[in-house]
Amino acid sequence: MTICTDPFSDYPEKQYIENADKNIRNRYAQFFTPFNIARFMSKWVLNDRENIKILDPAVGLGILLRASYSQEKKIELIGYDVEENILKSSKELFDKNNISSNIIKKDYLLNDWNNKYDGIICNPPYLKFHNFENKDKSIKEMKEKLNISFNGFSNIYSLFIIKSIHQLNKGGRVAYIVPYEFLNADYGENVKRVILKNKLLKYIIIFNSKLKIFDDALTTTCILLFENTKNDNVSFISIDTVEELNNFEKIIDLENNSEKMKTYKFSELDYKKKWRTYYQEQHSYDESKLVLFSTYAKVVRGIATGANDYFTFNKTKQKENNIPDDNLIPCITKAKQIKSNFFTETDYQILYKNDDRIMLFDGETTTNKLSKQYIEIGEKLNIHTKHLTSKRKPWYSLENRLSAPILVGVFNRKGLKFIRNETSVKNLTSYHCVYPNILLGNKINLFFAYLLTDVAKNIFNNNKREYGGGLEKFEPNDLNKSKVINLELINTETETYILENYQKYRISILNNKEDKIYLENINNTFLHLLETKT
């Protein structure tokens, strides 16, 4: 592949994206840093120094090293990567522009442990461990070299960050651009613990989640700036536009506790907490009136089939395959199938008549000849060899999930959405299942009324995960560990008032004439309860 010869721009990356195999790009998580951000990072790493070694552990087409070279300093450039095609293009681009470099085709995580560097600059691959080919070897290496363990939910960029911190010379600097998901996720605790222990992190520059930094990836973005000098503080800097990075000095020299920058001593930070609390305004209520969500209910993800196209049915597909009703389970298969906060039997029948895929094949105990034939079709299509199906016995069995009386959306842009499921319909993973426990008893509608309110959503937002473009996500444990109002604080008179407004709001929704005044009444009631000091 011929690459554009202008090295001091991101045109080579754009040209590569147009021509590269998408499967290879996804496999190796090849997403490229915009050149203006690369220049900002390189300025930090170089710090006006010369005759130093600069390493990029995941070099790709080398935009970070090219940005470093453009600073017109005498520096040695070293890069690691594992994908042959991109390395070939990278070397071609460097050679054509007489940029001296040492690009090495090796896995950085498994090599180069004994070297130290004056500067490390990196946009590491964003891959969950189960998608990473050298996962087991890398985890073992990290355990042996640094005595750090990782769980299976981690992202591979965590290992890159920790290894780079380990390889930094005295006075050296590191710049990483990564999703800031790890700041607020359980798997990020290892990284945060290492950061607090070595005290090298100087700045975390957090981009507004509505910004889409990478054209071809929906992710949050932050820049981590480390320096191997004596340091007691770390500053969180929030920026709303990429243009704010253009003035490097202004970004770094912000006031320590301005609207844009919050500074803390390392001793003030807790690696077990979600770090959103340190850089983002949090809604505050009387904590004594809050309890864990898990006090009243448990959130579990929806059914994962491993092959939705095979397992999901509409009435047309049912007729074509002659599958009996006994082998089909009513099931919500897509988020868009539920339009409001209430899902009724009428809503289900409308979806059925519209030929939506709202049934799930269950052939585990079937004796029906035609259903058995459909199982044989699945085996001819190798459905039984897929990742999830291959782990089930038999492969066509379904995960054990009861119908949940409350559902909650996994992804959202307009705030967390809870649904009162008034049917026996089950659901796939586009929704999580909420199962009330014995303690909630007959107060499920009171609990759901609370879940509909803005005050509830504001508290839940402290545990959300953010992606690019303003997309937000909640995993089951994000909700289980969230706080909700203690229902025991609600007296009979207040409960009656809430439920009256709840029923009126429900009726207005079912009549397609939503009247938000009832929801506002509910919200204001809970707000008053939570803001009033005991």
Give the other-Cβ count within 10 Å of 436's Cβ.
Answer: 18
Alpha-carbon distance of 124 to 504, in angstroms, equals: 52
Cβ neighbours for 485, distance < 8 A, ≥ 6 positions apart:
289, 290, 291, 450, 456, 526, 529, 530
CA dihedral (178, 180, 182, 184) in degrees, to 10, reads 180
∠ CA 181-187-193, nearest 5°, is: 95
Per the structure block, which two tokens stand in for 410?
């996994």
Range in 8-12, 122-126, 154-158 with the lowest mean pLDDT: 154-158
The token pair that represents 455 in the structure block? 């005050």
Please indicate, yes or no, whether the overall pTM of this predicted structure exceeds 0.75.
Answer: no
What are 409-463's pLDDT values in tens digits? Answer: 998 877 789 999 999 999 999 999 999 999 999 999 999 999 999 999 988 887 7
Angle at 109 (CA atoms; ends 105, 112), nearest 5 degrees: 70
Instruction: Report the distance separating Cα 255 and Cα 134, nearest Å.
Output: 43
| Between residues 381 and 277, the one the model is more confident about | 381
Residue 57: φ, ψ to 5°: -70, -15
The two three-digit tokens of residue 224, written as one number: 């981590």
Q: What does the pLDDT look like over 51-92, one tens digit per residue?
A: 999 999 999 999 999 999 998 889 999 999 999 889 999 999
- How does the average pLDDT of the chain come out, rounded? 90
Residue 431 backbone phi and psi in degrees, to 5: -130, 150
H helix or E strand, kind and range, residue 173: strand 168-178
**Can you identify the CATH homologous superfamily of domain 11-279?**
Vaccinia Virus protein VP39 (3.40.50.150)
Band of pLDDT at residue 2, cut at 50, 70 and 90: low
pLDDT attached to residue 77: 95
Residue whose entry in the numeric block shows the structure tokens 């990072």: 41
Q: Decide if 260 contacts 237 (C-beta within 8 A).
A: yes
Cβ atoms of residues 110 and 87 within 8 Å = no
In the DSSP assignment, the letter for residue 155 is: B
Q: How far apart are alpha carbons 436 and 294 in whole angstroms? A: 9
Give residue 116's pLDDT: 95
Under a CB-based contact definition with an 8 Å cutoff, are residues 47 and 169 in contact?
no
Taking the C-alpha atoms of residue 103 and residue 98, their distance in angstroms, rounded to an integer, is 14
Confidence band, pLDDT 50/70/90 cuts, at residue 534: very low
Here the tokens at position 299 are 């959130």
| pLDDT at 31 (0 to 100) | 86
Angle at 231 between CA 229 and CA 232, to 5 degrees: 165
**What DSSP string runs through 412-476?**
ESSS--EEEE-SS-EEBTTEEEEEE-TTTTT-HHHHHHHHTSHHHHHHHGGG-EE-GGG-EE--H
Are 110 and 140 within 8 A, CB to CB?
A: no
Q: pLDDT exceeding 70 applies to what percent of the chain?
A: 94
